[in-house]
Structure 1
Amino acid sequence: MPQREPVVEMTGITIEFPGVKALDNVDFRLYPGEVHALMGENGAGKSTLIKALTGVYQTSSGRIVVGGVERRFSGTDEAQEAGISTVYQEVNLVGNLSVAENVMLGHEPRVGPFISWRAMRAQAREYLSRLHVDVDPGAELSSLSVAVQQLCAIARATVVDAKVLILDEPTSSLQKGEVDELFAVVRELKERGVAILFVSHFLDQVYEISDRMTVLRNGRLVGEHLTAELPRLELVSKMIGRTEAELGSIEARAHRVAQRSDDDAPRLEVLGLGKHGRIEPYDLSVYPGQIVGFVGLLGSGRTEAVRLLYGADRAERGEVRLNGAPVRLANPNAALRQKIAFSSEDRKREGIIGDLTVRENIALAVQTVRGVWRRVPRKEIDEIVERYMSALNVYPNNPNML
């Protein structure tokens, strides 16, 4: 890569919240015309670093230089004025407005005090055409696919002449063809000299699209690497703090556990489970030590099928067997009593209660099974919380945080 000045240079970035240091002396560089992946486990500090760059969080210490000028943004509007735009995982557009209104939001052309709707549609069409997006600017945004909505969000970012484009998990809801379409746009923006910060948990996509990567772990910088020079297993090792030998040993043990003979019985068995008009009857067997992939295109019924199995939705037909015995999973409480857990794809709305602390969220399932009148002793809750925060490496390690 030719020697150039970085468009973004963050040095010694530290961010502290009460009782926890979310970022600890982190350095980060982003060059024009590159795709730079920001890597790390959940809780590594990726989102915090992005929020520090875009003015959502104020740094406790460190310097942020954008375009050669030291900056301290007090909000996202100042970051946008400096040419930094963000497209979030959850598309932050207004579904009941038109495509043109979303693309030009905050930058509507006016004639005196009035919006020029014709000019707005024409300008929106121009920004969309630069990304090869052929949609009617007058169409309601919610009528379009998630992939097209993502591209509309990127088009809105280009309205402010973005020098830096941050893509936070942009492919999480996209199918393969839609990902290819998005990456074609990313490569074109890269050719124009836009610096792109790419965040994703899909390693195949990271290695396909990125030029360099920065790895964070527990709020600290692990290293900066050229993507082509960092093997995948070594990347995973740096992200989770395990040696490659340890990872290989874990994988070997998992394969040994998953091996089974023809005489083995399934731990979980689903026979003809279904719901009229929603899910056709299906069968499923899961053996001890197995990881069974449940795949399908968006809208194919993957989530709905699992919700039936867990009792989150009521099945109208079929049977569930656990260790060979029929069980009736009429609701999530019944599933929990059978030691069956469900992690929702929409964890923010269905998996946690944001107004409760980490400790209260972990203890909630236990209290739910016990019932409202059988209070779980504080000592038992403390032991459960400590065990699971340690086992799952929850970071920051503060059970009293919201």
Structure 2
Amino acid sequence: MTEPTARIVEMRGISIEFPGVKALQDVDLTLYQGEVHALMGENGAGKSTLIKALTGVYSIDSGSITIAGRKRTLNGTADAQRAGVATVYQEVNLCTNLTIGENLMLGHEAHGPLGINWKKTYQLAKQALARFGLDHLDPRAPLSDLSIAMQQLVAVSRAMVIDAKVLILDEPTSSLDAHEVETLFSVMRRLRDQGVAILFVSHFLDQVYEISDRMTILRNGQFIGSYRTRELDRTTLISKMIGKDYSSLSTIAREADEVAGTETRTPFIKVLGLGRKGSIEAVDLDLFAGEIIGFAGLLGVLPRDVVNAG
């Protein structure tokens, strides 16, 4: 990727307040043409609120939004789409009772003197799929025949039918396995190389470091900073997200190791090398009688998979 130059989105001093809650306080976000930009932060940091401000779902109390050099007042999702902003959410929002092509072109069908020209519509759908390397899909096939991962890619293709300048992907990999994630990333790289600015939201740090070029970090509704991904190591990223420095994190880890090292009782439950393909690597776990053990971590650590696998 070449160094980005053209600013597609500039959000400056964005503040949004709900009754009794300051959801965002003077937050900045800049997206460049032809980049994948990760939006990082703990749950409740303000990521979803900022996305909803950019997509016109929420009105901002103060600040400004500039898209492709033009200041915008977004009073709804239609305004955002007209400005060139497309969004694909975690839950695939498609109609499984329709064909792939019907889903892809819904609201953008080709029309003739007698109404919708389905032949032309399916031709356009085929061209749209080919743009993203999905020309192996038959636009006349039922969407329900596709896996969730392929439906996600159709949702991305549908979002880009409007020839968007900005594509927002909100937790798009949460239900995908490793191979499916790589397929999605291939499409994202293709879009990036075509000049689309992609805002990527994910709690999977491995994926963030694999696909993103830059990142912006929020904490408690406040802007912490924007960084080139390759210049920010994971420990520093986590420290900025949670508001604790590395020495504090190291102290917590060391104290936990000291407690574990003094344990001489026989565990009530002992688990060795518990794993689940596509979810978690091998995990060891000791549970002692009279003890409450907690699972902690960012989304993506998948503690529930440890329990389910056991």
Q: Same fold (TM over 0.5)?
A: yes
Which whole-Å CA distance do the structure 2 matches of 1:65 and 1:188 have between them?
25
Aligned to 2:7: 6
Aligned to 2:182: 180
Q: Which secondary structure does the structure 1 equivalent of 2:7 belong to?
A: coil
Aligned to 2:124: 123
Contact 2:46 2:219 survives alignment (8 Å): yes
Contact 2:266 2:288 survives alignment (8 Å): no
1:341 positional shift: 9.5
Aligned to 1:63: 64
1:297 positional shift: 4.2
How many percent identity over aligned positions?
55
1:252 positional shift: 2.3
Contact 2:13 2:62 survives alignment (8 Å): yes
Aligned to 1:114: 115
**Pairing 1:269-284 to 2, within 5 Å after superposition:** 269=269
1:222 positional shift: 0.4
Q: CA-to-partner distance for each residue in 1:342-397, whole Å, 9 max, x for gaps?
A: 99xxxxxxxxxxxxxxxxxxxxxxxxxxxxxxxxxxxxxxxxxxxxxxxxxxxxxx
**Pairing 1:84-99 to 2, within 5 Å after superposition:** 84-99=85-100
Please tell me the residue identity of whatever aligns with 1:31.
Y
Q: Greater strand share, 1 or 2?
A: 2
1:2 positional shift: 4.3
Structure 2 unaligned runs (5+)?
280-286, 297-310
Please tell me the residue identity of whatever aligns with 1:296.
K
Aligned to 1:238: 240
Aligned to 2:253: 251
**Pairing 1:251-400 to 2, within 5 Å after superposition:** 251-259=253-261, 264-266=266-268, 269=269, 285=270, 294-297=275-278, 323=289
Aligned to 2:301: none
- Using a 3 Å threshold, how does the CA distance of structure 1 residues 106 and 258 change in structure 2: closer, same or farther? farther
**1:154 aligned to which of 148, 153, 156:** 156
Please tell me the residue identity of whatever aligns with 1:64.
I
Aligned to 1:213: 215
1:258 positional shift: 4.2
1:3 positional shift: 6.4
Which whole-Å CA distance do the structure 1 matches of 2:245 and 2:293 have between them?
32
Please tell me the residue identity of whatever aligns with 1:17.
F
- Correspondence 1:16 to 2:17: yes
1:140 positional shift: 1.8
Q: Which secondary structure does the structure 2 equivalent of 1:33 belong to?
A: coil
Find runs of 4+ consecutive structure 1 residues off by over 4 angstroms: 258-263, 338-343
Aligned to 2:76: 75
Aligned to 1:357: none
Aligned to 2:231: 229
1:43 positional shift: 0.5
Between 1 and 2, higher relative CO (CA 8 Å, sep ≥ 6) is seen in 2
Structure 1 unaligned runs (5+)?
270-284, 299-320, 325-337, 344-402
Q: What's the C-alpha RMSD, in Å, of the aligned pairs?
A: 2.5
Which whole-Å CA distance do the structure 2 matches of 1:242 and 1:342 have between them?
19
**Pairing 1:162-201 to 2, within 5 Å after superposition:** 162-201=164-203
Contact 2:4 2:33 survives alignment (8 Å): no
Aligned to 2:283: none
- Using a 3 Å threshold, how does the CA distance of structure 1 residues 228 and 297 change in structure 2: closer, same or farther? closer
Q: CA-to-partner distance for each residue in 1:243-269, whole Å, 9 max, x for gaps?
A: 111111222233344458785122xx4
Q: Which secondary structure does the structure 1 equivalent of 2:25 belong to?
A: strand
- Using a 3 Å threshold, how does the CA distance of structure 1 residues 159 and 3 change in structure 2: closer, same or farther? closer
Which whole-Å CA distance do the structure 2 matches of 1:88 and 1:232 have between them?
25
Which whole-Å CA distance do the structure 2 matches of 1:340 and 1:261 have between them?
14
Which whole-Å CA distance do the structure 2 matches of 1:68 and 1:122 have between them?
33
Q: Which secondary structure does the structure 1 equivalent of 2:138 belong to?
A: coil
1:228 positional shift: 0.7
Which whole-Å CA distance do the structure 2 matches of 1:4 and 1:265 have between them?
58
1:167 positional shift: 0.7
Which whole-Å CA distance do the structure 1 matches of 2:55 and 2:120 have between them?
30
Which whole-Å CA distance do the structure 1 matches of 2:205 and 2:168 have between them?
18
Please tell me the residue identity of whatever aligns with 2:244.
R
Q: Which secondary structure does the structure 2 equivalent of 1:65 belong to?
A: strand
Please tell me the residue identity of whatever aligns with 1:8.
V
Which whole-Å CA distance do the structure 1 matches of 2:42 and 2:177 have between them?
23
Aligned to 1:328: none
Q: CA-to-partner distance for each residue in 1:262-299, whole Å, 9 max, x for gaps?
A: 85122xx4xxxxxxxxxxxxxxx459xxxx8652348x
Which whole-Å CA distance do the structure 2 matches of 1:118 and 1:245 have between them?
64
Please tell me the residue identity of whatever aligns with 2:277.
G
Whichever of the two has the greater Rg, that structure is 1
- Using a 3 Å threshold, how does the CA distance of structure 1 residues 257 and 174 change in structure 2: closer, same or farther? farther
